[in-house]
A and B are shown apart, each in its own frame.
Chain A
Amino acid sequence: MAAKTLTIDGKQISAEEGASVLQAASEAGITIPTLCHLEGVYDVGACRLCLIEVKGIPKLLPACTTKVAEGMEVSTDSERLRKYRRMTLELLFAERNHVCAVCVANGHCELQTLAYSLGMDHVRYDYNFPKWGVDTTHRLFGMDHNRCILCARCVRTCWHVEGAGTKNVAGRGSKSKIISDLNQPWGHSESCTECGKCVMSCPTGALFRKGSTVGESERDRTKLEFIVTAREKKQWNA
C-alpha cells in the first residue's frame, strides 16, 4: 500500500494510506486523548476528545476517523484544542450522573483519568441530574445508564468482536441510551451470549460485573486483545 507523508506537531511522519491520523500519531509516539476509541473495533468519532487541527480546514476534526493524506499538517495540541477538550469533558460530566465517589469504576475509569490528566478541577456547566435507571436483570452483569457516555464501545464490541448484536443505541441526543435487543431488560435478551466483552470494553462504570464493589472493577481486556490479535495478526497468543 502507498505511504503518505505528513507532519504531526511539526514532526515528519509517514503512514500507510488508509490509516487514521490517530494511528499515525500513535505509531510516531504522539499521544492524543481518546475515549470512544478501542483497539480492534472500527472508530465512530463519538466522543470528540481526539479533535485535531488540520491546516487549511477551519473546523476541528476527530483524529480517529480522519484519514492521513499527503502533505497534511496536523496539530494535536493548541490553546484552542485544550479549550474544546476541556469543554467536551465537562459536558460529559454534566450530562448524566457521574458520582465518582460511589461508582464501581472509581480508580479504574477512563473518564475520571482523562479528567484529571487534562486538568479538569470543576465543571462550569449546570449539571443535568437526569433520572436514569440501572438494569440489573442480567444474571452476571449490570448496566448503569447514569454512568454511560454513549461511546458505543459496547455496541461495536458486541456486534463486531462477539458477533451477537445484542447491544444497540436507541433514541436521540442526550436521551439516547444503550439497549439490549429490542429495548428489553438485559436479562430477557435472547441474543446475549453472556460473553462479557461489552463489560470489558466499557470505559466507565456503566457496564459492570455483578458482585464487584467500588474500586474492584478493574477492566480485564486480555480476552478482547487476544481475539483482536488473533484476527489481525493470525497469532493465537494464549
Chain B
Amino acid sequence: MERLKIATVWLGGCAGCHMSFLDLDEFLIDLAGKIELVYSPIADVKEYPEGVDVCLIEGAVCNEDNLELIHKIRARTKVLVSFGDCAVTANVPAMRNQLGLDNAESVLQCAYVTNAQYNPVKPKEDGIVPPLLEKVQPVHAVVHVEYFLPGCPPPADRIKALMVQVLEGKTPKLEGTQLKFG
C-alpha cells in the first residue's frame, strides 16, 4: 500500500498544536509506518510539495506569507484539516481585529515602540518580515477546509481519533467533548 502523503503547517499560532501532536507518543511510531511526512515545521522541507493527501493546518491567517502559503496548500492538497482553535476560529491572534482596521499598525506600535525599552522601531524588512494582514481570519474564511479539529490545543487523543479515521479513508467524526473549544 502506498503511504499517505501528510503535511503539517504552522501559520499564526503558538506551536502548541504541534507540541500536542508530538504528545501522540508511541502512536507516532505507528504513524511513521503508515505515512510519509512531506512538509512540516518538524521536518526540514523548504517548498510545499505537489500531490499532498492530508494537511493539518495550525494557526490563523495573519500575514501575507500565511495567505500565500494557504492558497498554495489548497491547490496542492486533497484534504485540509483546521488543526486547533487558531485555525478554526482565529482565536487569540484575531483579538487584534477588535482594534479596528488600522490594528496591524497599532499592534506593532504598541509592541515595538510604545512598550519598547530599547531601540523603539517598528519591524520592516521587505522580503524578510511579512506584512500583517488588515484582519486575522480563520482558515476556512480564506480557503475551503474539509475537516475541523478544535481545541487549544487539541489533546493528543483527539488528534489520534481524527488521524485514525483519516488514515482509514473515512470522513472523521468527532463528537461531544472531542469538539470542545478552548
Among B22-30, B61-69, B85-93, the one that faces the other chain is: B85-93
Q: Is the CB of B181 within 8 A of A116?
A: yes
Q: A111: nearest residue on chain B (CB-CB)?
A: B181
> A121 contacts which chain B residues (CB < 8 A)?
88, 148, 150, 174, 179
> In the complex, what residue of chain B is closest to A100 when comparing beta carbons?
B182
Interface residues of B in 131-182 (CB under 8 A from A): 135, 138, 140-141, 145, 148, 150, 152, 174-182
Is B33 located at the chain interface by the 8 A CB criterion? no
Beta-carbon contact of A99 and B179 below 8 Å = no
| Min C-beta distance of A34 to chain B, whole Å | 18
Interface size class of chain A, counting residues whose CB lies under 8 Å from the partner chain: 20 to 34
Minimum CB–CB distance for B11 against chain A, Å: 16
Most B-side CB within 10 Å, residue of A99, A102, A131 = A99
Q: How far is the CA of A151 from the CA of B176 in the complex (A)?
A: 24
Q: Among B100, B141, B178, which residue has the most Cβ atoms of chain A within 10 A?
A: B141
Q: How far is the CA of A122 from the CA of B89 in the complex (A)?
A: 7
- Asked if B75 is an interface residue, CB under 8 A from chain A, the answer is no
Contact with B along A101-129 (1 / 0, CB 8 A): 11100110000100111011111101101
Name 25 interchain pairs, CB-CB below 8 A, sorted by A. Answer: A93-B89, A97-B95, A100-B152, A100-B180, A100-B182, A101-B91, A101-B182, A102-B92, A103-B182, A112-B180, A112-B181, A115-B179, A116-B176, A116-B177, A116-B178, A116-B180, A116-B181, A120-B179, A122-B88, A123-B89, A126-B141, A127-B90, A129-B97, A129-B98, A146-B98
**Which residues on B are within 8 Å of A, measured CB to CB?**
82, 85, 88-92, 94-95, 97-100, 135, 138, 140-141, 145, 148, 150, 152, 174-182
4 A-B pairs with the lowest CB-CB distances in the bound complex, closest first: A100-B182, A101-B152, A129-B97, A121-B148
| Contacts beyond the supplied A121-B148, A129-B98: 16 A-B pairs with Cβ under 8 Å | A93-B89, A99-B91, A107-B182, A112-B181, A115-B179, A116-B176, A116-B180, A121-B150, A122-B140, A122-B150, A124-B140, A127-B89, A127-B90, A127-B97, A130-B98, A131-B100
